[in-house]
Structures are given as structure tokens and as C-alpha cells.
Chains A and B, each alone.
Chain A
Amino acid sequence: MTQHPLIRNGYYGEFGGQFIPEMLRRNFIDLEQAFEDAWKDAEFKSTYADLLRDFVGRPTPLQRADRWSERCGTSVWFKREDLAHTGAHKINNAVGQVLLAMRMGKRHIIAETGAGQHGVATATACAWAGLPCTVFMGAEDMERQQPNVERMRLLGAEVRSANTGSQTLKDATNEAMRHWIAHPEETHYVIGSAVGPHPYPMMVAEFHGIIGEETKTACQTKGIKPSHLVACLGGGSNALGLFLPFLDEDIELIGVEAAGAGVESGRTAATIEKGSPGILHGAKTMILQDDEGQIEEAHSISAGLDYPGIGPLHAHLASTGRLRTAAAEDEEALQAGLLCTRLEGILPALETAHALAWTLRADWSGSEEVILNLSGRGDKDLKNYIQNPGE
């Protein structure tokens, strides 16, 4: 892992690093070592692979979205992560990290969650493992993703509300880190996206790499030559999972951020487009901040994208031009999600709907083969969809 060509001294280009208080340093040394060992260990990998197959239900299909393709005027394929257990890609990482925590002898799992998908996935993995689980969630997110709060509780997890700051994903992450500082020995923190101090971004990406690997295999089987890979960007885990095995190939990578009310509206979560380099949650990356270096609140209808940072690997890939970014607004995403429901019979997560929205307005020639990471299903977003039923 540490050997990955993208990593140097815990940095990905100029981004990444470990900006953590001393109290957490030992945890990061232990974690990096444990992951490195586990990832080289055939037994760990085969246990993980078995779980992905039997518990998570992988591989997930790569499906041609016929009517969506017709709408876009080019060929679009959906990588159906919504069909993974618990309804989103998040479970790949949750299961992987919980397995790692068991191997490390940890006795308590904590996680942060925005949309609740990562919280549900972690609570699910903990129920399977028989480990106690505490999920930190912003008070505002608990309100707008209520069904997932109930699901986590049914799974036996304790959900703690984060009441500081914007009361969303950023604050839930702060609370999880603080809990870890106070309980370092028994606890493993299952971070939910490709964010945070090294080795989290790369580790989370590796646990999701299965998305890209399966896509590659399916493309070979079906004779697809992908020209574009598209995914929404919250912290960047579903995107990296899809992109990782394709980084060295001549394929366009597009990450779609949440523009909120508009990239220039002052109420946005388009971190790469609107942000600047800075340090958040222990990593140097692109962040939304003011002139004083205070972190600004992000705004998005989608709780899973409502984050003023981005994984440092994405910041790096965007800075080198390898990753192209775009942004979709709240309303546009809602309409795209509804359209996908009608055209394809798939109710997508609002996060995913941002990537869908971009494919509708991109300038296609008609000969592309586009792979879109359908990162999750939208049951958790029913309330939002019902309140905004579109045309």
C-alpha cells in the first residue's frame, strides 16, 4: 500500500499528510502497519473476498442503461453499487475496515456519517462481527436522513448527534476524531470516505478498488471499451474505487461535485471548483475556507456530499489534470434522480443523482462508452423526492 506509486511519505503529490495531534500518532502508526500487513496477507484477502461475495452480494452488475443512453445520446453503463448490501458502495470499505479492526484486536468501532449510508454499512458490519458500534451524525443530517438513523439503531448501533458547527458531516467527523483521541486503545475509527490523514485515503480507496476491478472484468466480458468514468464526489470514495484500476489508461475520469444552490452562490459543496489548498481533518487537500483559514460550511441537498473538503487523492489528481471535475446543483440532481427512476426503474441516491445530472448535459458525440458509478439507492431520500416531484 505504502508502495503505491501515488504515495510519497504519506503525501499524494502536494496533498495528504498527517496533520494530527500527537495523541493520535500511535494509532496511525499502528493502523498503517496493520493495513500493510493485512493487505499482503492472502488469508485476510480471501476472508475479505468471501465476505464481499456472500455478505455484500458482489460482484454487482454492470448494466447498460438503455433509455438513459437514449436520453444522453451516447452509451451509458451503470455500475450497480445500489445493489450491494445496505444499498450503497459504502459497505465495501466498512466490511474491510471492520475486518482489519478485528485483526488489530479492537473492541469498539466508531464511524461518522453524513447521508447515513456509511453509518448503516458500519453498523451492519459490526452486527456481523459482534462488535459494539457508535456512529456520530450531525444533528441536521439526523433530521434529513431519519430512516437511516432508525436502521442504525435497529442494527444495534448507538447514534450520537454532533451539535457543533454546521451540524453535518464535517462536525460528525470532528466528534469521531475527538472520541478516538479520548479512547485510542480499544477503538478503531472506520472513516467513511477517502478523506482524513494518511493512510485512510489510500486504504479506503483500496477497499473500494473492487468496484473498478469488477468493472474492468465486466468490460472485457461484454466487449466494452470505456471512454469515460463518471462518479459523484463527496469525500471521493466511490469515485476512487471506480477510478483506481484505470488511472494509467487512456480514459477520461470525471468527478461531479455538489454545487448546492450554485457554484458561485455561496451555498455550495463544490470543493475542488470553489476551494483552495488547506488542512481539514488531518489532511492537506482542497477545502472551502475563508481568508482567515476558518473552514466554511458546505451546502448541498445531499447529506453525503455536504462536506467542505475532498479526499487528498482527488485534490492531487485534479491538480495534475488527470481528474476532470464538474458540479451539479440541488435542483438539477433532484430532477435527474427522478428521471432515472422513471426511465430505468432505479431510484438513485441523491448523491448519485449529481453524477447522473452531469451525463444529461455533457456534450456527447454519440460514440462514447460511459461508465457511471451508481453509488447507491435512494430509499433514504424518498422524503426529498416526494416533496419535489418534478414535472
Chain B
Amino acid sequence: MKELMSILREDNRVNLSIFLTAGFPDMKTSQALLKVLANHPAVSFVELGMPFSDPLADGPTIQRASEIALAQGTKLDDVFALASGFRASCDKPLMLMGYCNPVYRRGVEAFVTQARDAGASGLILPDLPYASHDRDFRSVLEANGQTMSFLVSPTSTEESMDEAFEKSTAFVYGVANVGLTGDAQSVDRTAFFEGLQDHRTRCPIVAGFGISDPADIQQLEGFVDGAIIGSAFLRALGPIGESRPSESEAVQRAIAFLNLFTPHSQP
């Protein structure tokens, strides 16, 4: 498997990452969607969302997707099983993204070991404080070859930006908005990322939150090393809530969505 940071560093382009909630709309479809992501040339890496009952930073789409995944009994072990399946089918990096409580509940060491065994590259935990990372995670991650990526946002202070670039070991997650995942854009994205450029040599930057179409990606060209699309991808699978899409519908729609993103110049 290729190391994520070097992929982001080497390719002089906005690497596309897709976020999907594990177990949404159901386990089997998740598995099929991951296969699509593994094979599609537009996708450089993947964020696999670990559903949580109280996702504070998520907008309605990911909230609903998490709720549906949990209602169907999706467990942490299922998340790891999905990650393993993905690993078996391609060498694209996969990050696990979620909230602190389920990780602490499992036990940090047990969790990180399982993540490693499942072939994950690392974690993104938006509600993890730096001090808790330093105390509970850092050495365990290091020992298991797993990374951590911290968030910076337009409201970040200089101190926390500095800390994010210092402590992130895959990329810094640049929250491209003042809002929740999936919210409409409310800030000048390029101005925000322009302000981060001095830090970029320390750690690659990947944009997320409210990124939804090829125009968004194009706008970020030159400013970031990657961009994550989550809510827009989940929405593209079909209306969330009423009837869930069938596996074949979801797969077709996922491919149609990914095809919008011109397969970039192949490395």
C-alpha cells in the first residue's frame, strides 16, 4: 500500500477522496460502494465513516446516514471488516473517521491494532483534543504505523493551526467552511487556503466540508493536495430517509457521480 502522505506530496494535483458512512445504506451496499471506490480512477483515497449516535460536527446527510447504519446494527467490527475488504481489493489508502467515544470504549490500543490489521492508514477524530492525542494515541499510533490527521478551520487560532501542522502525520484536514459537513459554502474558501500555504510544506492539506462538485475541486487547484467529498456523494446515491436505494442503484449512481470528476491525468 502506498503511503498517503507521499501520494499527496508527489501528485501535483487535488487528489479526490470520498467519504462514506460504513453500513449505509446497508452493509452489503457499503461493500459494493467500496469496491467502486477501489476501482474508479478518479478516487485517490477513502474516508470510511464510523457511525456514531451523536455526530456533533455533521450536517443532516451524514447524521441521517449514521442513524440508518446504526439502526441496522452496524458495529465497529463491521467497519473493520469493510476496511479489510477494501484493502484486499486495492492499494489506495483508507482513513477511519469518527468520534472519540466509540474509540475509547473499545480501548485505544485495541482499536488501533484492529485498524492496522484491517489495513487502514490512520484516523480522523474531530473531537479529540491535542492533549488526549499526545497522552493516549501518539505512541500507540506510531507503534502500529497508523496516522492521525487534525482539523483546521477558518476560526482556528494561530496556535491550533501550528499544532495541527506539527502533529498531523498524514495530512491536515482543512475545513473549507464555517459550518457542518454538507452545509452550503459560507466563506471564501480560496482565501482561507491561501492563508495556510506557509504551513503546507510541513504537512499536506486536504480540504473537506461542503465540497460537492468538480467546480469546487477546480477552485481548490494549487491550494490543496486533496479534497474530500462526503455528503454530496451520499446524497448522490438517492434520497436519504424515505426509500433506501437498492445495491445496484447505489452502485450505478456512485459511478455516475464519480465520472463527473474527469479522471485526472494518470500518475
Interface residues, chain A, with chain B CB atoms under 8 Å away: 9, 17-27, 29, 164-165, 170, 174, 177-178, 181-185, 278-282, 287, 289, 291-295
Residues from chain A with Cβ under 8 Å of B86 in the complex = none
Interface residues in B144-158 (C-beta closer than 8 Å to A) = 150-153, 155-157
Measured between C-beta atoms, what is the minimum distance from A112 to chain B in Å? 13
Give chain A residues whose Cβ lies under 8 Å from the Cβ of B56.
20-21, 174, 177-178, 181, 281-282
Task: Determine the residue in chain B with the shortest Cβ distance to A177.
Answer: B56
Q: A282 — which chain B residues lie within 8 A by C-beta?
A: 56, 127
Q: Which residues of A contact B101 (CB under 8 A)?
A: 278-280, 287, 289, 293, 295
Contact B150 A22 (CB under 8 A): yes
Which residue in A279, A280, A294 is a CB contact (below 8 Å) of B70?
A294
A-B Cβ contacts below 8 A, count? 107
Give 12 A-B pairs besides A22-B175, A174-B54 with Cβ atoms closer than 8 angstroms.
A17-B129, A19-B127, A19-B128, A21-B126, A22-B160, A23-B57, A23-B155, A164-B63, A177-B56, A278-B104, A280-B54, A281-B56
Decide: B102 and A25 in contact? CB cutoff 8 A.
no
The residues of A that contact B105 with a CB separation of less than 8 Å are 278, 289, 291-293
Instruction: Give the docked Cα–Cα distance between A29 and B103 (Å).
Output: 26
Bound complex: CA A178 to CA B160 (Å): 21
Q: Which residues of B contact A21 (CB under 8 A)?
A: 56-57, 126-127, 151
Question: CA A184 – CA B183 in complex, angstroms?
Answer: 15
> Is B156 a contact of A292 with CB atoms below 8 Å?
no
A125→B59 CA distance, assembly (Å): 30
- Known contacts A19-B100, A23-B153, A279-B100; is-contact A178 B54 (Cβ 8 Å): no
Give every chain B residue within 8 A of A170 (Cβ-Cβ).
Answer: 54
Give the residues in chain B near A295, CB-CB below 8 Å.
53-54, 101
Contacting residues, chain B, for A281 (C-beta < 8 A)? 54, 56
Out of B70, B128, B156, name the residue touching A25 (CB < 8 Å).
B156
- Answer whether A17 and B104 are a contact pair too, CB < 8 Å, given A22-B156, A23-B57: no
**Could you tell me the distance between the alpha carbons of A20 and B129 in the complex, rounded to whole angstroms?**
7
> Is the Cβ of B102 less than 8 Å from the Cβ of A293?
yes
Q: State the Cβ distance, B265 to closest chain A Cβ, in Å.
A: 33
A165 to B103, CA, bound (A): 21
A184-B178 contact, Cβ under 8 Å, with A18-B129, A21-B57 = yes
